[in-house]
Structure 1
Amino acid sequence: MLQRLSTGDQHAFREIFEQHWDQIHAVGLKILKSPELAKDLAQDTFMKVWHNREQLKDVKSFRAYLNVVSRNLAIDHLRKKVFTAENEEYLVSYFAEDAATPGEDAEYRELEQLLHDAVDHLPPQMQQVFRLSRFEGLSHAEIAERMNITRVTSKSYMVRALAAIRKYLSQYQYEPLICWLALFFL
């Protein structure tokens, strides 16, 4: 099929389009969270396939190729949406190194230390699940595989870890800490 498409066969393109439309549309929905944008993404993906059809004869896994093309187009769309001229000043000030005052830096370090203290008081398994999830960004499936436990066990440890951390931190009655943790961890 790819050989036929690479020579410009429109019937082959139509078959590939019909066969893979749902797959590409699903990628768009997952990343862009909009049916309209997902439809546009799928159309753009197939336009790119048509324009690059001559190189397709060398593609080993067409399904993976489509996923990469569609994902990259979706990320490009999000990047353009975020990095607009209107957002430039806000983004520059947000990520500026000197944006935080020395007092804010000290408060952040204190909050971070309290969180680490709370995590250190967890039992070893819960501690490891929390660190893998919140500090390394692993999913429950990845944690389960790494720790040789079930996904359900990973979720259970996380729920229990979060409850224990909330309880530990409640003794400090530090309002900014609760806000910070609510935003980033809990």
Structure 2
Amino acid sequence: MPADVSDITKNLLPLVAAGSEKAFRQLFHLYADLLHTYIQSITKSSELAEEVVQDIFLQIWISRETLHNIRNFRSYLFVISRNHALNIIKQLIRENRRIKQWEESKALHADSDPEHLEYRLSLIEEAVRRLPPQQQKVWVMSRKQGMKYSEIAVATSLSRETVKKYLQYATSSIMQYVASRIDLLVIFLLFIRR
């Protein structure tokens, strides 16, 4: 890294630690593209890399008072970014496993009876209607309209991170609602058949 960037960073860190938004923006512009490229090489996703960069700089701003303790900001930035990216990848893998398990479980319990399929679909629709309005809107835009986080963020004037959280909450609520109703149906059917 050129000495001038290192010197600029050393001058910016105390200003950011003191709460200067201008210095923070300069620090962001100084490292954002470089960090994005690095994280994209790990995640193989530009969208995920953008998310990590935003998360990391948000965290830096939140904990800005501790910046005076950092001796090599560039190394610090790359280490925490790599760790954050790996944690997100692990989280996505866990989420994909849960979805796959849920789909496999759903397939195992799938009944060829159209009434049962219709019942399950009606449960999903009912669960969606029970969501808070913003979560419902985000879920519909994502799952039914196929929009990406960034597109939903623009359409709803929400941050991309908020869209992501709303979608996670909505999906979890829907899955819990449907699973609890299907479990009740299975129990009910077991008792009726005896």
TM-score by length of 2: 0.43
TM-score by length of 1: 0.45
